[in-house]
Structures are given as C-alpha cells and as structure tokens.
C-alpha cells in the first residue's frame, strides 16, 4: 500500500507541475506549503525506493511526509472546507489524503517491527 500510495502521490505532483509550473500550488497562500508540495516530486519517490528496499528510514520518512502533507492540506483547504463541509466527501482530495496518512501512521510501528525481524510472528530473525 505504501508503494502504491506514494507512487500515486508522486504522479499527481509531477502532473501538477507539468500543468501549472512552479506556481502549481499558488492557491495555497503560504509559500512554505507551496515549496513543500513541489518537494513531494522528490520525497514521494524517495519513500517508494526506501520502503521497497526494506529500509526502516523509508517508513519513518513516510510518516513525516504524510504528517506534513495532511497538515498542510487541512490548513490550506480549511477556508473552503468551512464554507462547504460536504467537499470533504469528494473521492479526490482531502479525504483520501487524510485516510492514507492515517494508514501510514497506524501501520508504521508494525511495519518497522517486521522490517527489524522483531515482530513476535516474524520467522525471519
């Protein structure tokens, strides 16, 4: 799931940059958010490579990236969400980003244990 989610995220951010250039995220007034979303073109594939190579640092990076991604999206989209809360129910946007972020955070500890071979049910010690 990590690989699929982060690959999909990388593709979305690349397409956003192709369509909108450096100002693809100009709808976010915070320049730091704009820079972060652009940096996901590098960070998302980096997570994919590190997790695919079974590197614990990849899982930790995934948690950091998603915590920042979810936070930035909620802060940046808060004005329109307050104006129309039903927009949260759209199949693309804030809801799937939030759900994937929760999945990454919740699954990170068991995944790290499995990667280290410390999981009680892991037979690859």
Mean pLDDT of 94-113: 96
Q: Which domain holds residue 69?
A: 2-116
Taking only the tens place, the pLDDT of each residue in 56-67 is: 999 999 999 999
With vertex at residue 98, the alpha carbon angle to CA 92 and CA 102, rounded to the nearest 5 degrees, is 140
Evaluate whether residue 8 is within a structural domain. yes
* Count of structural domains, the chain: 1
In a domain, 121, yes or no: no
Indicate whether 84 belongs to any domain: yes
**Residue 124, in any domain of the structure:** no
pLDDT at 91 over 80: no
**What pLDDT is attached to residue 65?**
98
* DSSP code per residue over 17-46: HHHHGGGTTTTSS-HHHHHHHHHHHHHHHH
């Amino acid at each position: 799931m990590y690989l699929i989610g982060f690959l999909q995220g990388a593709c979305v951010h690349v397409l956003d940059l192709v369509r909108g250039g450096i100002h693809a995220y100009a709808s976010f007034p915070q320049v730091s958010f704009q820079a972060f979303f652009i940096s996901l073109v590098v960070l998302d594939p980096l997570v994919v490579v590190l997790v695919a190579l079974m590197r614990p640092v990849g899982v930790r990076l995934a948690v950091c990236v998603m915590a920042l991604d979810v936070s930035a999206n909620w802060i940046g989209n808060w004005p329109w969400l307050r104006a129309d809360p039903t927009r949260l129910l759209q199949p693309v946007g804030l809801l799937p980003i939030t759900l994937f972020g929760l999945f990454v955070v919740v699954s990170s500890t068991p995944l790290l244990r499995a990667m280290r071979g410390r999981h009680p049910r892991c037979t690859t010690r």
